[in-house]
A and B are shown apart, each in its own frame.
Chain A
Amino acid sequence: MSRPDRDEIDARIAEEMSFHLDMESARNVELGMPPDEARRRANVAFGGRERVREEARDVFRVRWLDEFIADARFAARTLARRPTFLVVAVVSLGLAIALNTTMYSVLDALINPVIDIRRPDLLYRLQYFGNVRKRLDRRALPEALSAGGRSYEGVSGWQSRGEALLERNGRLTVLGHDNVRPNFFSLLGVRPIVGRVFTDADLYDASHPIVISDRLAGKLFLPGETPIGGTIAVNGVAGTVIGVIPHYAEVPVLWNDAWTLPAPGVLAAVPLNIVRIRDGADPRLVRDELATIAANLAGEAGEPTSATSFRMHR
């Protein structure tokens, strides 16, 4: 019997059942039953048809697997007897598969860009509304957010600096530039291609650490030249490249090409606008926790609770 597909199996079972019931009904009629009663009795005697169908499908499903294995063994024996044909077939298949895979990867990257950051589904934008920053110490808000966080893993922030003139050894380009908090990349979970991302210690590093995109590295560094440790002037201020990350054209908070840290004294100027919630945390609970923090800050500042809030959104 050739390999049946599911429709063939179902059709076969249906026809066999129909034949069986017709024969049983006819025999019941011969025994003197009215046709309706004869059919009813035949149906009752047959039992659950769906169970029969399922059991039959199970039998044939396993049969497909058995036949596939048998076919594979037969193919292996045939190919082993013809080594030249085997080599040509394998090389041809390999080339065809490689070409298809490459084309698929290119198209897939265009249609579904891969965001190589850790669990992007747990990241939310964070916005603060209120006036407590004017009434409290400028560190009060970030400290309150950092001290909270039972339902969220952490907060960080970035501030666009617009387009910057980027220069290295006479090569110039103009690309987007952000100031970020030291934990910006680690909170996002961005993996550098080479080097590293910022740490708190970099805030006080007089060499002005810079993280750049691979796109910017390609524009300012020669092929084969390592960007790590290289110097780049950002709007005339020299900094040292400590890491190169992929260029994320599809991720708004990452689509620029150069990132620097603010001076330690003005870190608070970089807003906390990203929150990573804990895996499994209900975003509603995070919002509740942020509302509590906002209410506490408002209380400390003597502000009405309703005038202070956080908004968390995609």
Chain B
Amino acid sequence: MPPADKNDLLQGTLDMLVLKALQLGPMHGWGITERLAQGSRDVLRIGQGSLYPALYRLEKQGFVGSDWETTENGRRARYYALTAAGRKRLAAERESWRRMSKAVELILAMESAP
């Protein structure tokens, strides 16, 4: 079986990753995909078709806010920023992820009986 494609992303983690990317500071959609790609050393490439619906959903839930701003090269872009609710949500998601990954590690570390 070939290794998982680098675009594959564990279901449910996208929102957490987007919130984490925005914890570093407000950013537009393309910038978020770049942050995630750089942060994962190019392992995670978020499908842009998934990113924007996720951003709109997070905005609707109040975890991010957005506004039009001008980029360094003079282009108008929609910048997203983490809200207070988003920060709390991120903390909860991180804790949940830690528990989950630890549980998976424990399972993978199980050894067969001699």
Contact = CB atoms under 8 A, between A and B. Distances in A.
Interface of A: 1, 12-13, 15-17, 19-20, 22-24, 45-49, 51-52, 55-56, 59-60, 62-63, 66
A259 B28 CA distance: 79
B41 interface: no
Nearest to B56: A59
B39 interface: no
Interface of B: 28-30, 45, 47-49, 52-53, 56-57, 59-60, 65-66, 75-78
A141 B76 CA distance: 83
Nearest to A57: B56
A47 B48 contact: yes
Given A1-B65, A19-B30, 5 more contacts: A16-B77, A19-B29, A20-B48, A47-B47, A47-B48
Contact of A56 (B47, B53, B75, B76): B53
Q: Which among A48, A52, A60, A62 has the highest number of chain B CB atoms within 10 Å?
A: A52
Given A1-B66, A56-B53, A16 B60 contact: no
A16 B53 CA distance: 12
Contact of A16 (B45, B52, B65): B52
The 8 closest A-B pairs by CB, nearest first: A47-B49, A55-B53, A23-B30, A59-B56, A20-B30, A46-B48, A56-B56, A19-B77
A15 B76 contact: yes
6 contacts: A1-B65, A19-B77, A19-B78, A52-B49, A55-B52, A59-B56
A30 to B, nearest CB: 12
A15 B78 contact: yes
Contacts of A62: 60
Nearest to A59: B56
B85 to A, nearest CB: 15
B52 A13 contact: yes
- Chain A's interface: helix, strand, loop or mixed, by majority? helix
Contacts of A24: 30
Given A1-B66, A59-B57, A60-B56, A19 B49 contact: no
Contacts of A56: 52-53, 56
A51 to B, nearest CB: 6
Contact of B60 (A46, A47, A59): A59
A32 B86 CA distance: 38
Contacts of B60: 59-60, 62-63, 66
Contacts of A16: 28-29, 52, 77-78
Nearest to A47: B49
Nearest to B57: A59
A56 B53 CA distance: 5
A62 B57 CA distance: 10
A62 B56 CA distance: 11
A45 B52 contact: no
Given A1-B66, A59-B57, A60-B60, A19 B28 contact: yes
A12 B53 contact: no
Nearest to B28: A19
Contact of A12 (B45, B47, B78): B78
B75 A45 contact: no
A150 to B, nearest CB: 56
A174 B59 CA distance: 74
Given A1-B59, A20-B30, A51 B78 contact: no
Contacts of B52: 13, 16-17, 52, 55-56
Nearest to A54: B53
Contacts of B29: 16, 19-20
B89 to A, nearest CB: 17
